[in-house]
Structure 1
């Protein structure tokens, strides 16, 4: 895959409480590793990854790992502006992290207004035996958000790649359907051979 020939760039943000280990999910996705020791995120971090969503169509992902601490909610608008998608992450073994998702979702919607974003709800730490959140509860909340739901584990690698790819493909399908997407940038250097009427890329 020639990543220099990416066609779209998506800004994706990860939200959730500070104990859900968003950074572990991201580390597993980017590097294929599970960090045994990781410190709480106190500043927003940016990682870059590339995904070929279909033959010849490469998407450059800007992945923002955000702090889960309460202070971040007051300044969220600074970082989430123009996001195309969001991974809402909670800990399956911690009901409190699940109950906070509505607050994270509400704050993001307010920060993005008048635009919106695509969502995927991620139940993390699926490798643990003691779950405090049932699949039915999570699926019901995801439906309320108009989001897809998936369970994953950074420790085992289960569904980690699938979580990020599910959201990326959801955004991409929105472009193909002619939706105007905030947080989507098109590469002009790789679209020169595409007729204007066939170029479904939207304005950023």
Structure 2
């Protein structure tokens, strides 16, 4: 009892209450995009370049059997790349980097290592670094931004140049489908662009979690198909060309009620 006073208890409670309130406030008020902590570019590139590693949720015994896919989310600023990625990985919508997820795709477990390239659009050298190491790319634009749609062709051309291929696994993603009243890019335009690339097309809404999983799963399916074709090609033979099955898939998916349009 020596040394105890009601004043000391009151001071202790006041400090604890102040700390608790500050913690709650910090959780309620996310940092602005420009101030939010993000991993350094060098760290992102090193993470992408490292060999397959165990997933956080997988035991070491299980992890050694998992196939890891390095996916890259590409697109202009403000199209929703971060939101799309986090909605897929964590199943909730937030405003902002690099994520991993274990999931089942067509009865096969896959470990997805997803790089969100937000904030790197202006650095061409850095862009080429993640393009070298990525196995597949989501080419994301916003249906509310004509400029972001026009940028997709530039990203696609750069991927093919860096990979030195005529075709490489990509999926064209039209994001922010919930903002129909602000639409600047028609669905038919996205379909036509994907057909030109010879790839799949899908409209998504990260905010409403519409077709988010489907976009990433479709990319993994395309990587698997591409890898099988590459393995079947004889040494010195031509690289895989644009897949021929998309025209048939377009017809089969014309009545898709989920808003998923596949070419």
How would you bin the TM-score normalised by the shorter chain? 0.7 to 0.9
The equivalent residue for 1:159 is: 211
Higher helix share: 2
| Residues 81 and 118 in structure 2, CA contact (< 8 A), matched pair in contact too | no
Cα offset for 1:115? 8.2
SS at 1:27's partner residue? helix
Work out which of the residue numbers 72, 90, 100 in structure 1 matches 2:141: 90
Alpha-carbon distance in structure 1 between the residues aligned to 2:132 and 2:187: 31
**Residues paired across the two proteins, number:** 172
The equivalent residue for 1:142 is: 194
Higher strand share: 1
Distance 1:122 1:27, change over 3 A: same
Cα offset for 1:136? 1.0
The equivalent residue for 1:28 is: 87
1:76-128 deviation line (CA, Å, top 9, x unaligned): 12122132110000000111100111111111211222585201000000001
- Pair 1:118-2:118 in alignment: no
Alpha-carbon distance in structure 1 between the residues aligned to 2:129 and 2:69: 17
Distance 1:115 1:21, change over 3 A: same
| Residues 83 and 117 in structure 1, CA contact (< 8 A), matched pair in contact too | no
The equivalent residue for 1:13 is: 72
Q: Which runs of 4+ in 1 moved over 6 A?
A: none
Q: Where does structure 2 lack aligned partners over 5 or more consecutive residues?
A: 1-56, 233-263
Alpha-carbon distance in structure 1 between the residues aligned to 2:167 and 2:118: 21
Q: Where does structure 1 lack aligned partners over 5 or more consecutive residues?
A: 40-44, 182-204
What TM-score, normalized by structure 1, do the two folds share? Answer: 0.76
RCO comparison, higher one (Cα < 8 Å, 6+): 1
- Pair 1:77-2:136 in alignment: no
Please give the root-mean-square deviation of Cα atoms over the aligned residues, in Å: 2.2
